[in-house]
Structure 1
Amino acid sequence: MIKWTMINMNLLLMFLMIINNLIFKNNNNNNYNNITKYNRNMELYSIQSPYIKNMNVIKRGYHTSLNNNLIIVQKNNNEDNLKLNNLEMNNFHKWLVGFTDGSFYMKGTENNFKFFYGFHLHKDDISCLEHIKNNLKMPSNINIRETSVQLTVTKKQWMSDNLLPIFDKYPCMTMKYYSYYKWKKAMIDNLNGMTYNNNDVLNIKNTINNYEVMPNLKIPYDKMNDYWILGFMEAEGSFEVIKTRNICSFNISQHQRSIETLKAIKSYILTNWKPIDNTPLMIKNQLLKDWDSSIKLTKPDKKWSY
């Protein structure tokens, strides 16, 4: 991951390991194993990803808060390290689709239909946009504002040549799956010379953004993968530490229409993510004991979260 989520995940897991290690150490537990030291290859993570492990993808650096002061330790990057091989590029594309599933927008103008693809992030995440721009070779510049950064492309032919192959191969897995297909059809029709009146523009815009299910299409949850989840976590996830109750949690909230996406994420994680080998035995056993109940779906107000 490139954005805040990976930093927070690292800190959260380190926090958990430090607490557990202190407990085991103080109890003279024979299974104690000091794993709190940060490892360059991300050994603290329960998912071992070549894209995460081997690449300098965290371009924006490590961020943490200590006594309300922001501490930044920036990784050194060079052009050779940032070049992705074919496998890593495929994994980047999967991550990008997951990130886009949480950061996708389209607009219609008053008398025309204008197609957008892009992201609007906090200014601290500019390296995330640089990474996306460089790997996609996007023909747009990053717009830097006082507190935010924005990367947007509107060139239809470029999007047709470069984005459509990615999203056709690695589909969205939220209701934006349907929005993408409507957006894609409208853009291809426009490239083929179709013109619109004001009513057409309004109808197309409303159709794309209404999140209605298309009866001839089904969201392919069977294509769920680690990288899509990581990207989606970047865009939609949040971490929480409740020190008074010694609780650490991770949450993703979605509108109730996307509950099937959360169910698919839950099923994938419970099936494919397990504690890593160097986890102390007592911690591992406790995690596995409660594994099936470790992720819960709740319904606060009109949103579902886990």
Structure 2
Amino acid sequence: MLLTWGQLARVNLLTLQRLNVEHPNNINLTNSINTKVQGLRNNKELFYKWLVGFTDGDGTFSIAHQNGKWSLAFKISQHEYNARILYFIKSQLGIGNINKEDKTKMVNYRIRDRKKLLEIIFPIFDKNPLLTSKYFDYLKFKEAFNILEDSNLTKTQKDELMYNLVKKVPSESYISPAWEIIHNQVNNINDANKVMSKSWLIGFTEAEGSFYLVNKSANRMVHGFEITQKLDLIVLSAIACILGIKTTSKKTYHTVVTTNSRSIENIIKYYNSTMKGMKSFEFRVWARSYVKHKGDFTKLNEIRNKIRSRKLGTTIFTNS
């Protein structure tokens, strides 16, 4: 493996030695022990917040009609490279099924049992609201559930209500009601922390975040971090406040992105030992390469190629 536990311990020590800096926006590192990987395993409330963040990134609430029947499914899909995160979620929830699509190499975790949706999934997402426009999809999903479970409706009535329901779509300016407590505006880190928990942000980053190495010139490579979304600018604004970086809006998407060394160092501190899936591997390699090889183009290029090879299914061994 590219990292061993012994090597990682040394990296963490080096990181703490190097990263003795204050965040420009007083980054909130409180309760960081509770948001470590162990916390996700042992504390259900932290796990639920993490799950909502991951769902905001990669989850779906689907309503389907086939052979005259309606079905509901809570679904999270990942490439087989990161299948272990789905098994972790299944083990924590204790319900659902996992299947692999051989052609696409995608792995899907689904919960279709309406009784389980009512008993387990709805309470999680009612207590810990989605922060993106997927909140709209969740409300549709629950409304569909209520229609299908209503014994006073005929099949024809249910079909009509369901067809009308699936046509509903959110506006491009839709904002999750979770942000109403700060009047749908994020002006500073305190506003962001009132809505967005660290557990949520870790889950969302595992789904949507990118820790990467990028060429700045022919012989210069730097570390970068980015999260991009087509919608939900308010979500990225909150992330930007928490991590102390900027939000940029393009024609078709919004992004929080940085290659600034000080920002990268604070991001390393924030996410240290927090993630569960393969993103944790990528983060550890990325953070370690910053501490040990910042400015070394040849070494950083070698590390980037190894990460790419790993994603393509090549097993890598190194003592570096």
TM-score range, shorter chain: 0.5 to 0.7
Q: For 1:229-285, what per-residue CA distance to the aligned partner results, in whole angstroms no more than 9, with x for missing partners? A: 011111111122125444211111111x31111112222334xxxxxxxxxxxxxxx
> Is 1:251 matched up with 2:206?
no
Note closer, same or farther for the CA distance 1:184–1:51 as it changes in structure 2 (3 Å cut).
same
Q: For 1:36-85, what per-residue CA distance to the aligned partner results, in whole angstroms no more than 9, with x for missing partners? A: xxxxxxxxxx6724242535x6xxxxxxxxxxxxxxxxxxxxxxxx6x2x
**Structure 1 residue corresponding to 2:211, chosen from 231, 239, 249:** 239
Specify the SS of the correspondent of 1:102: helix
Specify the SS of the correspondent of 2:132: coil
> Is 1:117 matched up with 2:74?
yes
Q: Which amino acid aligns with 1:50?
A: N
Note closer, same or farther for the CA distance 1:216–1:210 as it changes in structure 2 (3 Å cut).
closer
Which structure carries more helix by proportion? 2
Q: Which amino acid aligns with 2:98?
A: I
> Is 1:201 matched up with 2:185?
no
Q: Which amino acid aligns with 1:118?
A: K
Q: Give the match for residue 136 of structure 2.
A: 178
Q: Give the match for residue 135 of structure 1.
A: 92
**Structure 2 residue corresponding to 1:265, chosen from 220, 226, 239:** 239
Note closer, same or farther for the CA distance 1:142–1:231 as it changes in structure 2 (3 Å cut).
same
Note closer, same or farther for the CA distance 1:230–1:247 as it changes in structure 2 (3 Å cut).
same
Percent identity of paired positions between Structure 1 and Structure 2: 25
Please list every run of at least 4 consecutive aligned residues from structure 1 whose deviation after the TM superposition is greater than 6 angstroms: 212-216
Note closer, same or farther for the CA distance 1:49–1:205 as it changes in structure 2 (3 Å cut).
farther
Deviation at 1:216, TM superposition (A): 11
Note closer, same or farther for the CA distance 1:185–1:214 as it changes in structure 2 (3 Å cut).
farther
Unpaired runs of at least 5, structure 1 = 1-9, 22-31, 36-45, 58-81, 271-294
Note closer, same or farther for the CA distance 1:214–1:233 as it changes in structure 2 (3 Å cut).
closer
In structure 2, distance between residues paired with 1:97 and 1:241: 28
Q: For 1:153-201, what per-residue CA distance to the aligned partner results, in whole angstroms no more than 9, with x for missing partners? A: 1111110110111001111000111221221122123223344455433
Q: How does 1:202-217 map to 2 (within 5 A)?
A: 202-207=163-168, 209-210=169-170, 217=177
Q: Give the match for residue 297 of structure 1.
A: 247
Q: Give the match for residue 225 of structure 1.
A: 197
Q: How does 1:62-211 map to 2 (within 5 A)?
A: 84=42, 88-105=43-60, 106-110=62-66, 111-138=68-95, 140-146=96-102, 147-193=105-151, 194=153, 195=155, 196=157, 198-207=159-168, 209-210=169-170
The 8 Å contact of residues 175 and 213 in structure 1, kept in 2 or not, is answered as no
Unpaired runs of at least 5, structure 2 = 1-6, 20-28, 181-191, 257-320
The 8 Å contact of residues 210 and 227 in structure 2, kept in 1 or not, is answered as yes
In structure 1, distance between residues paired with 2:166 and 2:235: 24
Specify the SS of the correspondent of 2:129: coil
Query: Which range is displaced more, 120-129 or 88-97?
Result: 120-129
Note closer, same or farther for the CA distance 1:33–1:134 as it changes in structure 2 (3 Å cut).
closer
The 8 Å contact of residues 95 and 228 in structure 1, kept in 2 or not, is answered as yes
Q: For 1:200-221, what per-residue CA distance to the aligned partner results, in whole angstroms no more than 9, with x for missing partners? A: 33321122x5457779945456
In structure 2, distance between residues paired with 1:174 and 1:183: 15
TM-score (ref. length: structure 1): 0.61
The 8 Å contact of residues 98 and 172 in structure 1, kept in 2 or not, is answered as yes
Q: Which amino acid aligns with 1:155?
A: D
> Across the two proteins, how many residue pairs are aligned to each other?
217
Deviation at 1:92, TM superposition (A): 0.4
> Is 1:50 matched up with 2:44?
no
In structure 2, distance between residues paired with 1:148 and 1:249: 27
Q: Which amino acid aligns with 2:165?
A: I
In structure 2, distance between residues paired with 1:174 and 1:299: 17
TM-score (ref. length: structure 2): 0.59
Q: Which amino acid aligns with 2:255?
A: S
Structural RMSD (CA): 3.3
Specify the SS of the correspondent of 2:138: helix
Q: For 1:103-142, what per-residue CA distance to the aligned partner results, in whole angstroms no more than 9, with x for missing partners? A: 222132154432111211111222211111111011x332
Note closer, same or farther for the CA distance 1:33–1:130 as it changes in structure 2 (3 Å cut).
closer
The 8 Å contact of residues 107 and 114 in structure 1, kept in 2 or not, is answered as yes
